[in-house]
Chain A
Amino acid sequence: MREGPLNEFAIRAQGLGKHYRLRETGGVAGLAARIGRAVRSGRAAAQATHFWALQDIGFDIRKGEVVGIIGHNGAGKSTLLKILTRITNPTVGHASVHGRVGMLLEVGTGFHEDLSGRENVYLGGAILGMTRPEIHRKYDDIVAFAEMDGFMDLSVRHYSSGMKLRLALSVAIHLDAEVVFLDEIWAVGDHAFQLKTWTRIESLIASGRTFVIVAHNLDTIGRLCSRCLLLDHGRLTMDGPPDAVIARYRKELRQRSQVWRDGETTLLKNFDIADLSLVTESLAMGDVLECRCVLLAQRPMIVKLAVQLRDSCGRIVAVGQGADGCWSELPIGVGRTPLRCRVPIALPQSGSYEMLLQIADGDAIIRATLPFAVMERDTLIKDELGQDVAVPALPLTWELDADAQMAAVRLVTSG
């Protein structure tokens, strides 16, 4: 499969940078600004907001290496992947990729609702760079892997979203690539299929393919990768063994809990957050997330508190419920008031999340985010049809029921 010795390079990147100029949105105001800029182009260009999504990224990846890219949201992970896959060009720098490239960035690319599953397999495969005979040869495998036998002549319009996803992922995974770019696609859809896909990816890794993986799940990265790159605000801050890079990233996560203060400053003088932390940033499904917070108040007052849990894409996945909708009220006295909040974790998926804490008093509001990770604790079982289903593994503790045993003993002796 692989040509050349192991020390050959699969990817070489040098000084990669991506620059964006943020511009106004559409509408009359945007149009006016655009016309204005066109008229006095020189001056206005200087006023536009510049922003480097990536800066001075350089690394060499040898064939067979499995490299994970980690970093906080907006660190540039996806931009880097988009540059390496040629979806967008870098502003500066140069990279070369050697070998047939496959990408699993986002599945369902090119699927058309009005075409049948079969037609879509051919179209989707071609878009990924497969030749017709190649798709033809792998067609049965693709259908079998997707568990879609018997549905292939049906229009994709009538598929469930899970079916579409399985088929698309199956096409992508059957591309015989030497270098594979992987974004966290498995974070969606049916869990059993995700695990099956993982098994397949792991076997590809074992067969010596080069992988570049962007994942939010640090467990995955730690388990699969032989090397890790850490991005921070568009810069490559660390490149090394996964354990060391992940440890540093976790440390940074802890320091990164952010606090914003909005509203009138005079009002804000009334109260503030003096200290804020999570007891543990890494927990399993079913555990309780414990947040500690110290409020500092100038006078006795009633503060309103709300909690939201967001996933790595910023979507709200759960909200705390209080007395007044999502708000809870709490009277606090002058000086330091330590607070504790316990959030039971019932989330659909493992992965990285953040907790958004909002503390309000009238118009003044303080927002703070605290990142945390939910570890994988799922297991595969067979359902009644013999198909794999992933279910959460609940941590159990069994012990002898001493009271009942005593009662039973009493019953025996007295009877």
Chain B
Amino acid sequence: MTVNSGYEVRPTSLLTRDFFSEIWFFRRLIGLFIWRDIIVRYKNTLIGAAWYVLQPVAMMLVFTIFFGGIFGRSIGPLRYPVFAYGGLLLWQLFSRSLSLGSQSLIYFGPMLGKVYFPRIIAPASFVIGTLFDFLITAVLMVALMAFYHLPPHWSLLWLPAILLFTLMFSMGCGSILAAVDARYRDIRHAVPLLIQVWMFCTPVMYPASFIPERWRLLYDLNPLVGLTVAFRWVIFQVGDVPDWQSIMMAATVSLVMFVAGLLFFQKVQGTLVDTL
């Protein structure tokens, strides 16, 4: 039975046969929601997209002023502002997609109660939409690299994979948090705190080599560690060299969280509107 010729109504169940065909049927909706959010976000602002560059730039300046002296020598030949901006670039993508993903059902709430589409589209469109902000902030990265005479390298071809795993991880976490938030509103207050703490557990302002070796395994459990190190490496080709242990760890944890998030969301999606 194709989506356009009818459907079955059943009590909540895990993945159904129609799951993927349905998302395929509604795929344009993801694009439309992303397009809507971008338009709406910039329509009533004065400097529009500049806000998304301003945020990491301000953070970069703060980091440079306070930590530039401390970590400046331990990051190899790289200049600290570029190092920090590189970390912030990926961190912004992750933190924004996690926080928007976890809030997605709040924003979509009224609509979900009136019309049907696969509920996973709500967090998905928010999470994927943050790629747009990423692209804007990446423009400044290019400028910084030109300024510090850092030529791009072939390894940049790995970039899409790094972004994909980052978004899969935040999608997994985000959909779990969003679904739990529909029941217990505490999540929306906890997420900003979680993100703040998380940043200190991620090599954004300091190099990963700063973490003592005996803590390394635990540290690597945070997939953002492997991803950030790899991200900097494919852009700059200097500094911490990513090791396979953290890369594999990051990829595995991201994938597991992604699948776990989808399954959990799918399990509760049918009755989400009852508690929203």
Q: In the complex, are the beta carbons of A106 and B114 less than 8 A apart?
A: yes
Nearest-CB distance from B42 to chain A (Å)?
Answer: 10
Instruction: Return the contact of A94 from the options B6, B9, B184 (Cβ within 8 A).
Output: B9
Bitwise, B43-55 to A at CB < 8 A (1) or not (0) is 1100000000000
B62 at the interface (CB under 8 A from A): no
Q: In the complex, are the beta carbons of A132 and B28 less than 8 A apart?
A: yes
Most buried by B among A88, A123, A131: A88
Q: In the complex, are the beta carbons of B11 and A92 less than 8 A apart?
A: yes
Q: In the complex, are the beta carbons of A97 and B6 less than 8 A apart?
A: yes
Q: In the complex, are the beta carbons of A126 and B29 less than 8 A apart?
A: yes
A91 at the interface (CB under 8 A from B): yes
Closest residue to B270 on the A side, CB-wise?
Answer: A89
B274 at the interface (CB under 8 A from A): yes
> What separation, in Å, do the CA atoms of A95 and B12 have in the docked complex?
13
Instruction: Return the contact of B111 from the options A93, A96, A110, A131 (Cβ within 8 A).
Output: A110
Q: In the complex, are the beta carbons of A89 and B11 less than 8 A apart?
A: yes
CB-defined contacts of B116 to chain A, threshold 8 Å = 85-87, 103
B32 at the interface (CB under 8 A from A): yes
Closest residue to A111 on the B side, CB-wise?
Answer: B111
B36 at the interface (CB under 8 A from A): yes
Q: In the complex, are the beta carbons of A109 and B114 less than 8 A apart?
A: yes
Closest residue to B43 on the A side, CB-wise?
Answer: A114
CB-defined contacts of B117 to chain A, threshold 8 Å = 127, 129
A105 at the interface (CB under 8 A from B): yes
CB-defined contacts of B6 to chain A, threshold 8 Å = 96-101, 179
A26 at the interface (CB under 8 A from B): yes
**Quick one: given A97-B6, A126-B32, A128-B115, are A114 and B11 in contact (CB under 8 Å)?**
no
> What separation, in Å, do the CA atoms of A105 and B116 have in the docked complex?
11
A336 at the interface (CB under 8 A from B): no
CB-defined contacts of A128 to chain B, threshold 8 Å = 115
Nearest-CB distance from B72 to chain A (Å)?
Answer: 44
Q: In the complex, are the beta carbons of B8 and A127 less than 8 A apart?
A: no
B112 at the interface (CB under 8 A from A): yes
Q: Scan residues 1-57 of chain B and give those whose CB is less than 8 A from a CB of chain A.
A: 4-12, 25-26, 28-29, 32, 36, 39-40, 43-44
B152 at the interface (CB under 8 A from A): no
Q: In the complex, are the beta carbons of A87 and B113 less than 8 A apart?
A: yes
Q: 10 tightest A-B contacts by CB? A: A89-B270, A95-B9, A98-B6, A86-B116, A109-B114, A106-B114, A114-B40, A109-B115, A114-B43, A97-B6
